[in-house]
């Protein structure tokens, strides 16, 4: 019986040094620190200030390589989940990262909004198990500050920039389980990038209602798919969009709020980078232990949503 699986064996992250507080935002638009924090759970966010998605992806990968004994020449695939790629076409952000480190395998970008990292993980897992890749570097990298309307207080308070990278390779122990991926195209216009103005537009109430339902459904359905009870889950790591969304999901689906790991307070919504950034911070805080079941849940533009379960392996 083939028990081969795919495990996460290394993590790295990068947050640009420029920090924008709520008080600074209040000098740009009609808002306040108290309003932003009470409605979102956000206190500050990092701003790229001209750094590209590929530049931050390189920084996150450098952080990973500093912490783990991986030769970049042995990296067989680079997949970057991003909604803010350097260029609309070739070269892809992943190509730039691959060229920088001299990796030898395939490299491509994947766009699925804020759920993009879940999709990228599943693509990498499937390609490794099929033999298309020996291993893969999966990165979430976003420069959302470049597509924000800084005069729109309903959206500009929500987003930040950052990048994080995970290294995936085969293992004989349980690791990354098959994902559950979904979309609801009929609601796509409720969260999108305006094609003319090139800025994020959002129906806040519509997205909120969708997110609460989507997160709850994914948690319940994914746990059932893998024959896990809520008690079997050590952590749920959601896309870091809004503290109120998580609180409402917790209440509606009777999931203890303490199971959700949140770092939105000082990072804000970093789209496809939010889940790997949270995982990297959890590793730094010593919260990840061998054998833990960790559920990742993402949702965003498209509207796309999905989830994965990782049985953590201590590296």
Burial class for 226, CB neighbours closer than 10 Å (0-12, 13-18, 19+) = middle
pLDDT at 141: 98
Q: Quickly list DSSP for 38-95.
A: HHH---EEEE-TT--HHHHHHHHHHHHHHHS---GGG--EEEEE-SS-SSSSSSPHHH
Over 50: is that where the pLDDT of 85 sits? yes
pLDDT band at 2 (very low <50, low <70, confident <90, very high): low
| Residues annotated as part of the active site | 114, 239, 269
> What pTM was estimated for this model as a whole?
0.95
Please give the average per-residue pLDDT across 139-147, as a whole number: 96
Q: Cα–Cα distances in Å, from 273 out to 38, 125, 313? A: 23, 18, 22
Homologous superfamily, domain 180-311 = Thiolase/Chalcone synthase (3.40.47.10)
Convert the pLDDT of each residue in 217-268 to its tens digit: 999 999 999 999 999 999 999 999 999 999 999 999 999 999 999 999 999 9
Q: What is the mean pLDDT of residues 75-92?
A: 87
The dihedral built from the CA positions of residue 55, 60, 66 and 68, taken in this order, carries a sign that is negative
Average pLDDT, the chain: 94
Confidence band, pLDDT 50/70/90 cuts, at residue 86: confident
pLDDT band (50, 70, 90) for residue 314: confident
- Tell me whether strands 161-171 and 180-183 are parallel, antiparallel or unpaired: unpaired
Residue 177 has pLDDT above 60, yes or no: yes
Listed in order, the ranges of the chain carrying CATH 3.40.47.10 are 5-171, 180-311
The fraction of the chain above a pLDDT of 70, given in percent, is 98
In the predicted structure, residue 1 carries a pLDDT above the cut 50? no
Span 35-68, pLDDT tens digits: 999 999 999 999 999 999 999 999 999 999 999 9
Supply the CATH classification number for the domain 5-171.
3.40.47.10
Closest CA to 233 of 293, 313, 287: 293
pLDDT of 88? 65
């Amino acid at each position: 019986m083939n028990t081969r699986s795919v495990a996460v064996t290394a993590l790295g992250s990068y947050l640009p040094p420029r920090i924008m507080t709520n008080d600074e935002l209040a000098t740009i638009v009609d808002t306040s620190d108290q309003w932003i924090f009470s409605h979102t759970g956000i206190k500050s966010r990092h701003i790229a200030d001209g750094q590209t998605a590929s530049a931050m992806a390189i920084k996150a990968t450098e952080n990973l390589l500093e912490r783990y004994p991986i030769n970049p020449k042995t990296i067989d695939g680079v997949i970057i989940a991003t909604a803010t790629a350097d260029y609309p076409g070739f070269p892809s952000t992943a190509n730039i990262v691959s060229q920088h480190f001299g990796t030898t395998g395939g490299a491509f970008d994947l766009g699925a909004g804020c759920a993009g990292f879940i999709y990228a993980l599943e693509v990498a897992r499937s390609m490794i198990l099929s033999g298309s890749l020996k291993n893969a570097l999966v990165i979430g990298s976003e420069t959302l500050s470049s597509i924000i309307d800084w005069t729109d207080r309903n959206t500009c308070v929500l987003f930040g920039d950052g990048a994080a990278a995970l290294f995936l390779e085969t293992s004989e122990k349980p690791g990354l389980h098959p994902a559950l991926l979904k979309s609801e195209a009929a609601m796509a216009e409720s969260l999108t990038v305006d094609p003319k103005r090139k800025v994020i537009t959002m129906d806040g109430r519509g997205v909120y209602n969708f997110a609460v339902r989507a997160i709850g459904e994914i948690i319940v359905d994914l746990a059932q798919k893998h024959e896990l009870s809520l008690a079997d889950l050590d952590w749920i790591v959601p896309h870091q969009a809004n503290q109120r969304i998580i609180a409402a999901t917790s209440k509606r689906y009777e999931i203890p709020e303490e199971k959700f790991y949140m770092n939105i307070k000082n990072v804000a919504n970093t789209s496809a980078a939010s889940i790997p950034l949270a995982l990297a911070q959890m590793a730094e805080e010593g919260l990840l232990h061998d054998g833990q079941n960790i559920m990742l849940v993402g949702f965003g533009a498209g509207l796309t949503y999905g989830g994965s379960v990782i049985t953590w392996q201590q590296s």
